[in-house]
Structure 1
């Protein structure tokens, strides 16, 4: 009993460590890409380069652990995970963060667990209660209201920033990647899923990153941001996160993900000098509240759904 309690406690702490690593992805990505007024690394280079860096580390891990190759039927879901998690999410996020602040992005991406559950319901034909869909609509309306308010305050009139559409696209891309990646998690093993995703992309990401290598001087802070998202956001964070899920229980440990938008906002203060905006914080609290309620109303009932539900956690 004591050993089980120690495992649960360790699992919770590993979950918190993983979430903290993922939360810092937003300000670190903005450091890497810079802003429209002061651009640093290209969003394409950051996306492909971080995947290439994680791919090299993953190849070393898979060889060192003598991991077996995926079976034939596992390549398709892994390919969707590559498109969603290794390419779609980081690329759209990188372009968006050249325009909006990391705190702003934290509010929009806070919808990720709810959107992932919705994608699971649609793709896997799972039945979801009316209350879940009402929460999904409420959370979406909160994000719309926040985006319109921020655009208005920035002098862009009553409407969306185009970067908000990129953030929504990033959330959808990540959700699709998580659903397909979760389908092969029970057979491949959680840590090996992200490794195979990165290795599968390596023949494309490595030469593309080398071809896109910046020719102009880049600030040291931008390179530090790049190394962080390639090493921690794309790789090490998953090891802590998935191991935490295994030790502490997926449903219990996954609740630590609710800390992520707040940790992103807090990390943006020292890393980027962004102010602690109470309006942003208030919207983040409201969106997270809809996620909490929605996740409770989307708890899967059968074993297949339960496996997929483990994939609704944001890795980044």
Structure 2
């Protein structure tokens, strides 16, 4: 007899993934990291013709329109009441908090500096995940995670001359809200498809982001170019929707802690894009940091919980 409450989706199996599922989950998480690595350069492009508030609001609205169309196309059921607290955390962390704080930071910070500071996100996410899900990663896992974070911090300080910038406050706030949103979103994907988690979060924000877009466009200068439009399209479609979909799927398959450590590679990928797309100059410390971070990723992926 089916005892699932009306309007609710049955809970998914919580057994750990097999080898094939683990490989697919890792691949999806890696794809998400690659997508996110272009977020800061794309945001920098958008800021060349739009203000920070306009950039944040427009990216959410565009992503919400696409997500809403997808939800209507498949006639996705409305989330159950028990899902809404978690969706609220995703809204605050992923849809509003992280885009807003990082966009404000990029007004005064280079993409390279912002990328390495946000490199602390894996450790922050792992900590949130351990508290939220009750997972207990091994000591080796935590040592490798802390070492990886230390490499990122050292690299960040070296890039900024040994002193944190004012934009770091925005970036640290972004770390906290994003880690909470990642963790709660991964928890929700046990019962809802990952794309619906971020899709409903985006749609629910429309009553806030639509008026915010109108006000921001009226208050801030607008100078649309091909580069500005390309940046907005990427942060809206890639970072805000498609990237979040594959990232949540990957985290649900291999676990929040292990997936989060793959993100240690994200700042280094962003550094590459900052050189290729923005013409920023890097020091010789970048290759050393890359080797150290990749070693840490390998250790955390092999460490057992």
TM-score, normalised via structure 1 length: 0.77
Match of 1:26 among 15, 40, 44: 40
Corresponding residue for 2:7? none
Query: CA 1:22–1:145 in 2, change beyond 3 Å: closer, same or farther?
Result: closer
Matched, 1:117 2:131: no
Gaps of 5+ in 1: 35-39, 153-157, 301-316
CA contact (8 A) 2:32 2:244 kept: yes
DSSP 3-state at the match of 2:190 = helix
Cα offset, 1:24, TM superposition: 0.8
**Structure-1 separation of matches of 2:284 and 2:110:** 14
CA contact (8 A) 1:107 1:280 kept: no
Corresponding residue for 2:223? 218
RMSD after superposition = 3.1
**Structure-2 separation of matches of 1:239 and 1:186:** 13
DSSP 3-state at the match of 1:94 = helix
Matched, 1:45 2:45: no
**Structure-2 separation of matches of 1:101 and 1:73:** 41
Gaps of 5+ in 2: 1-17
Match of 1:174 among 178, 184, 205: 178
Cα offset, 1:286, TM superposition: 2.9
TM-score, normalised via structure 2 length: 0.79
CA contact (8 A) 2:90 2:180 kept: yes
Query: CA 1:205–1:222 in 2, change beyond 3 Å: closer, same or farther?
Result: same
- How many residue pairs match? The answer is 283
Matched, 1:80 2:89: yes
Query: CA 1:122–1:272 in 2, change beyond 3 Å: closer, same or farther?
Result: same
DSSP 3-state at the match of 1:186 = coil
Summarize deviations over 1:99-138 as a string: whole Å, max 9, x none: 2221222222223222211111234444344444444443
DSSP 3-state at the match of 2:89 = helix
Matched, 1:264 2:270: yes
CA contact (8 A) 2:41 2:111 kept: yes
Question: Which structure 2 residues correspond to residues 101-112 of structure 1 after superposition, within 5 A?
Answer: 101-112=110-121
